[in-house]
Chain A
Amino acid sequence: MKKIILISLILLVGCTKMEIEPTPPPTTQNIFNVKESRVIDGQDIYFQLPTAGVYTLTLIDKETGQVIGRERFTGKVGENIKKIYTNSIQSQYLYLLLEDVTKTEIGKTTIITK
């Protein structure tokens, strides 16, 4: 009897489909493929790079044309994810500019921070 129960249990477990919670796919729209985006502090932004190497992301105040911040980073080929922080930014409307090490523009979009 014990064996029957054991075999039944094994069969039951073996036949039960493994319940894996589906994780929602990330929103991976390239930020430079849209004209403008509203962003909040700490939000992930996605973009594609043609090759691995050194790039810069630059924030430019749309009203004054002044650069207000720039991050230099080493990117990988394909999709890259970065966080954007907004608490220190006083401008509401900004350009986000992606350039390679030769200052060639890869992408440009408008972001709204407030």
Chain B
Amino acid sequence: MKNLFVTLLFLLTSFLGFGQSVSAPDSKSFLPSTNGQDGSGFSLNGFSSTSTLLASISLINPLSGTTFYLNTTSGLTAASGFTLSGNKTRLVVTGTMADINTALASLKVNTGSIVGNVQLSVAATVNPIGYFYNGVNGHFYKPISTGATYTNARAASLLTTFKGQQGYLVTITSASEDQFIFNNVPQSNIWFALTDEVEEARWTIDAGPEKGTLIKINNGQLNGNIPGQYNNWAGGEPNNSGNEDYAVTKWSGGSQWNDLPNHFSCAYVIEYGTWTNPDDATFTEFYTNSVTHSNGDVLRASFNIDFGSNVDETKFTAKGYTYTNNNWNVVNGTARQLSGLGKVDLTSLLDTARVSNGVRATTTTGGVEWCVIYDYDATNQRYRVGIDSREVNGIVSNPSMISSLQLFDLWNGPVTFNSYDSNGWTEVYIYTSTQFNFSGSSFASNIRSGNGFNALTAEFSFSPILAYKPHGIELTHSNQTELNTLYNSIVTVSDVFLAFKELADGGIFGNQSGMGLTNGIQYMNADVDGNGVFNENDTYKLLQHLTGVQSLSQSTTLTYLMKLYNKSDYDAITTSNWGTKFNSTRNLIPFTLGGLNNTYNINVTWLGDVNLSHSAQQSVSAIGTNSVRSMSLMTNSVSTEINASIVGEINNDKVIITILLDPLQQAVVGTQFQLNYDNTKLKFEKVDFVTNGNPMNYGTNKGTFINIGSLITGGNGVLDKTTEYKIVFTPISPITNILGLTSISTTDAVNKDGKQLKVKLN
């Protein structure tokens, strides 16, 4: 029975194609000028095993001489313009998931002599019928064989969408794009978005991301072609013969362009995608991943930033910082946008200069006892080591900078400076839990054991230690208004109720677990004043935040809302140790550059995100009894729905929006609705509440939205079907109707057990 169930589940999963993704390997270094190096590690996951998939493999901005090839291509078909064999910088293929994965496992990289990044990207989607994918720019193209005038083709293109992208009449901005259309569209004379309708002979791109770009300022095949812009006119064209203001490619079946009048009925192509780098594609149901390897010795820093599952990572950008002169200073360069998987590479935003970071002392055998090691201090687990200052004076300008010591074969590692006496000893501590084996040392003849010390006949030399500056990564949200909305959906009535429930069940001093919070990070986020104790002060502040009396933070900027942790630190937070852990908001987290390839895993959580709805989950292995399973059930899974309805109308010159609640079978104790409104046309007046259960009602104007809801934190009351919120606005100027003037975005509700409920608006 169990096997049957598993088989059925497998078939269902295969059929529906749940959880499609592309996984990428870890970063590595290639040898320069070497062919056939292993570039495997990508794989497609979760697609239907029988579907034909489209996959694009590409090197992003490849270094000269860097290419890849696939050793195995069984079952694959090269997309138009590509061949399966040979060295590539980009290859688009179709095939089943299994065949593509076999090919990806055989991926080999050839490198040139130039040292730098080798970024490999793989994208995959179910191969759409009737569309062609251009692997060079990552756009889709749909040929329309039915003839139309230019202006109709231009208008019709704009009315279409594909994979979440608005269409536009194709633009041709490169020879490869021109060739792509030539290869894929059978018709001749194909309209593309280029016109001189505004001013004769000033040919301007007429659609898409390049709209408005002037590419030519005179008629005639080569006259007035603007350098750097792609032109491909047939001989003698454009010539405006008979007032021709619009361009076609594949003129008369050839590969070049001509100008034609609008009334010609020609085929055309609709283009989808606005980016130039396929790796930046934002198509829906289009899955990408990438890895940045290096060719030779390149200092690299890449980050995997885990926001949990309810935050759009692409809204964030990252910058590099260095810590110098007690300040964080930004490294010049363009901020890097996070990928949809939370990945970002800061290699180009590192300060690669190395600076002095202490002094290293090394020893050779000598004839004078310049060094003494005092007996082991078992209490502090350390040795105190004295170096005769005559060895130091005049050589080390600042003896307190001594931070590393090689002492024969006894010790080779860090030391902590203790004291300096120019007429006596320069002392450092060696912290170790293992005592030295003086008698077993190869240098035993240079060691004399005394009463409470060992003297070493050693000569010292000193050298500066060079290291990269301390670095930091700073995250920024692209839009403050959107960040406000995001944070309003992070700290909701569910978080507040959960905190109250924990406090009520956990004892008056908050020192017992009320079982409302099962995870140390929940406590940290509930401890909104950050004093290491979760108590009634925190719930009071959460309530004030919810009801709009006072925000949790002094500012709405990201640095006052977000918490960043190294994943290992995050995973180590428990219900018993959270009070001793770093618990402040920040959008900059330090990192240390070690070797050449540095990968950092950063976890994100938020002030007040008590139910962790927008936070990274801890790894299972690290949290012991506070398992992800319980955390997940507690927070992110919504198993229960309740209903609400909304209607708006103009009544006596007021705009009235009415929200009605239908809790169905749920004992609802908290609700929250974010009603956005156009504050250039409406002025918020009030909220009228109709509620049973003696709740605390709130209706707070946040400038561009009203936060409305109710919360019952004690007693036996519940919000029933009579619950009604009437939000009243006054039009700033006369209006005749209100469609779209207000809209609901975030909603939330919570039941008596602290379970978050999904509000179905209908």
User: Which chain A residue has the least Cβ–Cβ distance from B736?
Assistant: A83
A83 to B161, CA, bound (A): 24
User: Which chain A residue has the least Cβ–Cβ distance from B737?
Assistant: A82
User: Which chain A residue has the least Cβ–Cβ distance from B741?
Assistant: A85
- Least Cβ distance of B1 to chain A in Å? 35
A51 is an interface residue with CB less than 8 A from chain B: no
Which B residues are in CB contact (< 8 Å) with A57?
739
A86 is an interface residue with CB less than 8 A from chain B: yes
- Least Cβ distance of B278 to chain A in Å? 22
Contact B740 A84 (CB under 8 A): yes
Contact B649 A73 (CB under 8 A): yes
User: Which chain B residue has the least Cβ–Cβ distance from A54?
Assistant: B649
B4 is an interface residue with CB less than 8 A from chain A: no
A104 to B46, CA, bound (A): 40
Report if A88-B742 is in contact (Cβ < 8 Å); known contacts: A68-B761, A70-B646, A72-B649: yes
A7 is an interface residue with CB less than 8 A from chain B: no
Contact A88 B741 (CB under 8 A): yes
User: Which chain B residue has the least Cβ–Cβ distance from A96?
Assistant: B739
Neighbour of A88 across the interface among B159, B645, B740, CB < 8 A: B740
A36 to B159, CA, bound (A): 7
Q: Which of A85-103 contact B (CB under 8 A)?
A: 85-91, 93
Which A residues are in CB contact (< 8 Å) with B158?
38
Which A residues are in CB contact (< 8 Å) with B738?
71, 85
B762 is an interface residue with CB less than 8 A from chain A: yes
Which B residues are in CB contact (< 8 Å) with A27?
none
Report if A73-B743 is in contact (Cβ < 8 Å); known contacts: A67-B762, A88-B676, A89-B676: no
Which B residues are in CB contact (< 8 Å) with A93?
161, 164
Neighbour of B680 across the interface among A68, A72, A87, A112, CB < 8 A: A87
Contact A83 B737 (CB under 8 A): yes
Which A residues are in CB contact (< 8 Å) with B741?
85, 88
B200 is an interface residue with CB less than 8 A from chain A: no
Q: Which of B606-627 contact A (CB under 8 A)?
A: none
- Least Cβ distance of A49 to chain B in Å? 14
B358 is an interface residue with CB less than 8 A from chain A: no
A84 to B564, CA, bound (A): 41
Report if A72-B647 is in contact (Cβ < 8 Å); known contacts: A83-B736, A88-B677, A89-B676: yes
Q: Which of A82, A85, A90 has the most CB of B within 10 A?
A: A85
User: Which chain B residue has the least Cβ–Cβ distance from A35?
Assistant: B159
A56 is an interface residue with CB less than 8 A from chain B: yes
Neighbour of B648 across the interface among A34, A35, A72, A91, CB < 8 A: A72
A49 to B741, CA, bound (A): 23
A37 is an interface residue with CB less than 8 A from chain B: yes
Contact A90 B739 (CB under 8 A): no
Q: How many residues of B contact A (CB 8 A)?
A: 32
Q: Which of B161, B735, B760, B761 has the most CB of A within 10 A?
A: B761
A23 is an interface residue with CB less than 8 A from chain B: no
Which B residues are in CB contact (< 8 Å) with A69?
646, 648, 739-740, 742-744
Which A residues are in CB contact (< 8 Å) with B677?
88
Which B residues are in CB contact (< 8 Å) with A84?
739-740
Which A residues are in CB contact (< 8 Å) with B743?
59, 68-69, 88-91
A66 is an interface residue with CB less than 8 A from chain B: yes
Contact A73 B737 (CB under 8 A): yes
Q: Which of A20-62 contact B (CB under 8 A)?
A: 34-38, 41, 56-57, 59
- Least Cβ distance of A98 to chain B in Å? 11
Q: Which of A36, A56, A69, A82 has the most CB of B within 10 A?
A: A69
Contact B649 A59 (CB under 8 A): no
A72 to B657, CA, bound (A): 10
Contact A88 B737 (CB under 8 A): no
User: Which chain A residue has the least Cβ–Cβ distance from B759?
Assistant: A66
Contact B676 A90 (CB under 8 A): yes
Report if A83-B739 is in contact (Cβ < 8 Å); known contacts: A71-B648, A90-B485: yes
A67 to B742, CA, bound (A): 12
B745 is an interface residue with CB less than 8 A from chain A: yes
The digit string for B339-362, where 1 denotes a CB below 8 A from any CB of A, is 000000000000000000000000
Q: Which of A35, A37, A70 has the most CB of B within 10 A?
A: A70
Neighbour of A85 across the interface among B739, B745, B760, CB < 8 A: B739
B681 is an interface residue with CB less than 8 A from chain A: yes
User: Which chain A residue has the least Cβ–Cβ distance from B650?
Assistant: A73
A89 to B742, CA, bound (A): 7
- Least Cβ distance of B527 to chain A in Å? 31
B678 is an interface residue with CB less than 8 A from chain A: yes
- Least Cβ distance of A89 to chain B in Å? 5
A83 to B648, CA, bound (A): 14
Which A residues are in CB contact (< 8 Å) with B737?
71, 73, 82-83
Contact A66 B159 (CB under 8 A): no
User: Which chain B residue has the least Cβ–Cβ distance from A39?
Assistant: B740
- Least Cβ distance of A38 to chain B in Å? 7
User: Which chain A residue has the least Cβ–Cβ distance from B680?
Assistant: A87
A85 to B743, CA, bound (A): 10
The digit string for B672-689, where 1 denotes a CB below 8 A from any CB of A, is 000011101100000000
User: Which chain A residue has the least Cβ–Cβ distance from B735?
Assistant: A83
Which B residues are in CB contact (< 8 Å) with A112?
161, 166
Which B residues are in CB contact (< 8 Å) with A90?
485, 676, 743, 745
The digit string for B749-762, where 1 denotes a CB below 8 A from any CB of A, is 00000000000111
The digit string for B134-169, where 1 denotes a CB below 8 A from any CB of A, is 000000000000000000000000110100101000
User: Which chain A residue has the least Cβ–Cβ distance from B649?
Assistant: A72
Which B residues are in CB contact (< 8 Å) with A89?
676, 740, 743
User: Which chain B residue has the least Cβ–Cβ distance from A86?
Assistant: B740
Which B residues are in CB contact (< 8 Å) with A67?
645-646, 744, 761-762
Contact B744 A37 (CB under 8 A): no
Which A residues are in CB contact (< 8 Å) with B742?
69, 88
The digit string for B159-196, where 1 denotes a CB below 8 A from any CB of A, is 10100101000000000000000000000000000000
Q: What are 12 A-B residue pairs whose CB atoms fall within 8 Å in the complex?
A: A36-B159, A36-B161, A67-B645, A69-B648, A69-B739, A71-B649, A83-B736, A85-B678, A88-B676, A88-B677, A88-B678, A88-B742
Question: B residues engaging A (CB < 8 A)?
Answer: 158-159, 161, 164, 166, 485, 645-649, 676-678, 680-681, 704, 735-745, 747, 760-762
Q: Which 5 A-B pairs have the closest CB atoms?
A: A85-B740, A88-B676, A68-B743, A67-B761, A87-B678
Since A69-B742, A69-B744, A72-B648 are in contact, a sample of 8 more A-B pairs with Cβ atoms closer than 8 Å, ordered by chain A residue number, is: A59-B740, A66-B760, A69-B739, A73-B649, A83-B735, A85-B678, A87-B681, A88-B740
Question: A residues engaging B (CB < 8 A)?
Answer: 34-38, 41, 56-57, 59, 66-73, 82-91, 93, 112
